Structure 1
Amino acid sequence: MRDGVSWSRSALGSDLRRRGSLVTESAQPRAREAEPRQGRPVLLTVDDDQSVSRAVARDLRRRYGNEYRILRADSGSDALAAIREVVLRGEHVAAILADYRMPGMNGIDFLERAMDLVPHARRALLTAYADTDAAIAAINVVDVDHYLLKPWEPPEEKLYPVVDDLLAAWQREGRTPEHKIKILGHPWSVASYEVRDFLARNLVPYRWYNVDEPEGQRLLAAVGVEAEQIPVVVTSGGAPLVQPSLSQVADAVGLTTAAAEEFYDVVIVGGGPAGLGAAVYAASEGLKTLIVERAAAGGQAGQSSRIENYLGFPDGVSGGQLTDRARRQALRFGAELIMARSAVGLEIKGPARRIVFDDDSSVLSHAVVLASGVSYRQLAASGADELVGRGVYYGSASTQAAACAGDHVIIVGGANSAGQAAVFFSAHAAKVTMAVRGDSLERSMSAYLIEQIEAIDNIVVRTNTRVEKCEGLDHLQCVTLIDTRDDSVEVVDAGHLFVFIGAAPLTDWLPAELLRDQAGFVRTGPDLVVDGERPPGWDLDRDPYLLEASIPGVFVAGDVRSQSVKRVASAVGEGALAVTLVHRYLAE
């Protein structure tokens, strides 16, 4: 986008024009007013202070006038009326800048209502320094993307970078929601579930078609394939992909799956909180940074329906929202992210480290940060493996929320992730049963979450309980539960079971010289020095740094590290600390 003065006057309803409460900025002769405007997205500013409103519109007009239509309104109610008319015209609202202090309807209330009309529009709050707390509250309550302090002079430094970020995010995720990816599949097809879950976790909009229903059958016939060949992914351009791999799906929807360079300062394996934390600090400090993620940015934390004990979010935040912000922040600083790609090898190449990927490609780097996280341990119940993706799921599958309506859902596990899932699914399912092996929740779950669970009528907590068997024909239909106190058995009807038990580190791909503990977690720092002896093969005249593994230049952060604290905040902190140690290593 460039500064420009190509403008046309609003053609909104005459009632709004008469009141003069809504204005379209124009810098062209009046003869240009009748030109068609379809396809020009809207930038909307809302402020009851006329001088501020004109100043915002003036600055936006200078930079974005060639590509966007600027609307300004004097109140939240007038702005909502304008948004409704824009939506009815089939046009798009790209971004909204709203003042916090407005009579009748403040900026937070307005943005919350605007989200219902234009959920893809990006949102920013204009606020005075004294109202910073309100801006932080807005981030929590209505998922505001940014807040701007008044005054924002000079706009080149304080306004335009924020609006550029808003528009870039909107262009990526919200410009054409009507042209969604189509997935043709069956609700109980494992491959269909994997594609749906992959796209949902990567915030790619899609429309689902059941091939057992007429519309799905019609589209399947149009593609020219049989029902046995599902899933079929039809791209927004109309190209069908039959039984695609996740990397093929990623390529088709515009996700990056291959590294752009051959050499980086640091390669971060894993895009969870630790990896994203490392990426933000590494990229912002000028390191050429590559993040490699096998599934979706956010890892297990990204699947959490609600995180309520993360610093700075007093009203809680979904894992998806939190990690998407971190992903966008890392990319804004220049980090490169490749998706649907697994690391399968780590090699020492003199002073460099080589990461090998599952497609046999590879990259070199000065340093590596291992932040590959963990996976949930497999459920030792008869029949569970055969029903994965067909009623049995590991982690929280938000794509299955609607299918749980009126059903009995079983949550296996007693830690925070299990509790968050129970609260989430209780809003959809008729009943949620938590099967907990321990004798209480207090040993493994935060107090605030226990209180929430106790207050929800349709959640039942069964302690001293294990899952013995999962049964069903084409999908899960019943589950056998054992009370370990007296070995009593109960078979319960259930269509969905979500597993949150333990954590298995994703470290099988690492070389033998990278030392791990008995559970497979990577040992680091002082844990590698035994009786004053450094690890075998260590060739530096110093002990390993705090988060450094037994291979120099390889650092570990987050859940995959031995004796780490399994919390989002500590993972982010370790990611940041790892980058500090990377700098120290590179300076040697």
Structure 2
Amino acid sequence: MANPAILTVDDDPAVSRAVARDVRRRYGDRYRVVRAESGDSALDALREIKLRGEQVAVMLADYRMPHMNGIQFLEQAMEFFPLARRVLLTAYADTDAAIDAINLVDLDHYLLKPWNPPEEKLYPVVDALLDAWLATPDTAVPETRVIGNRWSAPSFAVRDFLARNLVPYRWLLTDDPEAARLLAAAGLSEADVPVVVTPDGKSLVKPTEADLAAHVGLSTTPASEFYDVAVVGAGPAGLGAAVYGASEGLRTVLVEQRATGGQAGQSSRIENYLGFPNGVSGAQLTDRARRQALRFGAELLTTREVIGLEGGGTTTRLLRFGDGTAIAAHTVVLATGVSYRRLDAPGLDELTGRGVFYGSAATEAPGCTDQEIYIVGGANSAGQAAVYFSHYARRVHILVRGDDLNRSMSRYLIDQIKEIPNIEVHPHTAVVRGEGAEHLERLTLCDSRTGTTRTVETSWLFVFIGAEPRTDWLDDVIARDQHGFVITGPDLLAEGRRPAGWTLPRDPYHLESSMPGVFAAGDVRADSVKRVASAVGEGAMAVSLIHRYLEAQ
């Protein structure tokens, strides 16, 4: 982080240089001296410092400047750095104005010019001001800051993307004084949010995910045009394939449309994963796997949508991206996972991201403090979310269509939920309507046994239902079942016959799809076990089969 700044502003170039010289001589080893020759240029400097998340300790401004005098400058400068100490440089004839400024801009001191020798007239004053500033410093640090509205779907999308990609950020509502200062520094207004201010001071207005990825250090451009294995999807299966592929010397690229981790990455606590007796969050597990893959030399591309797969010959497979570019590889691992199914009830679609969320949306947990929240779903992901949100919410309501949670939730989670007093399970209950203006305000629930409905007041609904494979882009390319899951291995052998278009003299390997050299792993594969451990195992197994495939070519 850069040293805190001491800003000097004087319109007389000779005086400006003299002030900066004297200040730098004494404080240059601990502070960065910034010199300006007008109020406007000084404000520009402050805006840049503010956007970079750096600090200003002291500002020294000459009173007599054209267009904007020192008092006017300091008054505006307070909007950016209210804790910086303020000094007015003035001639004897202007002491009355300086005294008035003590009340107007909370002036800390005024200095009469000239101040020679500085050891007697300048340095003691600045020393005292720096000591005072160090006692109550500006807490600004270089970081990614997100400014937005509480009930805004675009604002939520930005925060969710950063959180799921493990990018630390600070969330500021538009009515926060710090948000107002940052918007002013960037020359923006509340109408421009969401705004992301990057650690290097750039302001991104309503950024796309690709914009965010590029500015927070995520790789979006492939380093090569050809790989041994291209993995599509960075959930547990894709990360497992990337770790094992790269560790075994294969040129490996991992392509992800949104964020590493998939649905597992959103889990607040995974307690049945081998080797973690105290449990591990999805984010922690994802981060460790991602760093492990990168350490072995795998390449990770984020915000790249794969829209097509082609067989480019007997030993080449081509992946086409949404922007028209493509990469080639000897083999491909399909690990695109599944998405939560949309809840089909009037009023919910338009409230998505504004009280209605698909997945755990852990970024919203602090906002649920002392609130009533509703969770739809009876599988492990819903149970993990309920336990997590119970630490914040006044009450967590789990809505399930069946009799209880036994059908689809692990016993350890069911037992936990029974022991948490502020979690309540509602069997035979479905959401049939959502209502609200700026955000979700109420839900209509229906008891499937009696058909009776009731309305509940809430601003929070989290949905964990069904599983839809992300395979639409594989139409007419890869064999899939009626639900869209990729069919692999022996399941492709209908009545002992190999799949149409199969060109090899052998049967498909266990995880191999109907296109030779293209494998499927994890939840996207038909009849797979929907567990994190099995997904990781299939990712590793796919690499073993890839070796067999490559050796036979």
TM-score, normalised via structure 1 length? 0.69
Instruction: Give the distance between the partners of 1:558 and 1:304, measured in 2 at CA.
Output: 16
State the one-letter code of the partner of 1:260.
Answer: A
Q: How many residues align?
A: 416
The SS at the match of 1:292 is strand
Report the CA distance between 1:214 and its aligned residue.
3.1
Report what 1:282 is aligned to.
245
Say if 2:502 and 2:516, in contact at 8 Å, map to a contact too. Answer: yes
2:261 corresponds, among 273, 294, 298, to 298
**Partner deviation per Cα, 1:123-150 (whole Å, 9 max, x = no partner):** xxxxxxxxxxxxxxxxxxxxxxxxxxxx
The SS at the match of 2:474 is coil
Unaligned runs of 5+ in 2: 1-28, 32-138
Report what 1:102 is aligned to.
none
Is 1:569 the equivalent of 2:533? yes
Instruction: Write the mapping of 1:187-586 to structure 2, written as runs, cut at 5 A.
Output: 187-350=150-313, 351-586=315-550
Report the CA distance between 1:513 and its aligned residue.
2.9
Unaligned runs of 5+ in 1: 1-35, 39-175
State the one-letter code of the partner of 1:329.
Answer: Q
**Partner deviation per Cα, 1:164-193 (whole Å, 9 max, x = no partner):** xxxxxxxxxxxx993111111111111111
Instruction: Give the distance between the partners of 1:542 and 1:511, measured in 2 at CA.
Output: 24
Task: Give identity over the alignment, percent.
Answer: 61
The SS at the match of 2:254 is strand
State the one-letter code of the partner of 1:247.
Answer: A
Report the CA distance between 1:220 and its aligned residue.
1.8
Instruction: Give the distance between the partners of 1:223 and 1:189, measured in 2 at CA.
Output: 21
**Partner deviation per Cα, 1:504-532 (whole Å, 9 max, x = no partner):** 00000114131100000000011111112
TM-score, normalised via structure 2 length? 0.74
**More displaced 10-residue stretch of structure 1: 225-234 or 426-435:** 225-234
Report the CA distance between 1:560 and its aligned residue.
0.2
Q: Which structure's CA Rg is the greater one? A: 2
Report the CA distance between 1:258 and its aligned residue.
1.1
State the one-letter code of the partner of 2:368.
Answer: C
Instruction: Write the mapping of 1:157-196 to structure 2, written as runs, cut at 5 A.
Output: 178-196=141-159
Instruction: Give the distance between the partners of 2:160 and 2:537, measured in 1 at CA.
Output: 28
Instruction: Write the mapping of 1:115-126 to structure 2, written as runs, cut at 5 A.
Output: none
**Partner deviation per Cα, 1:323-347 (whole Å, 9 max, x = no partner):** 1111111111100001111111111
**Partner deviation per Cα, 1:296-318 (whole Å, 9 max, x = no partner):** 11110010000000111111111
Instruction: Give the distance between the partners of 1:292 and 1:436, measured in 2 at CA.
Output: 35
Say if 1:277 and 1:575, in contact at 8 Å, map to a contact too. Answer: yes
Say if 2:309 and 2:477, in contact at 8 Å, map to a contact too. Answer: no
Report the CA distance between 1:201 and its aligned residue.
1.2
Say if 1:409 and 1:431, in contact at 8 Å, map to a contact too. Answer: yes
Instruction: Give the distance between the partners of 2:543 and 2:278, measured in 1 at CA.
Output: 30
The SS at the match of 2:200 is coil
Report the CA distance between 1:37 and its aligned residue.
11
Say if 1:299 and 1:373, in contact at 8 Å, map to a contact too. Answer: yes
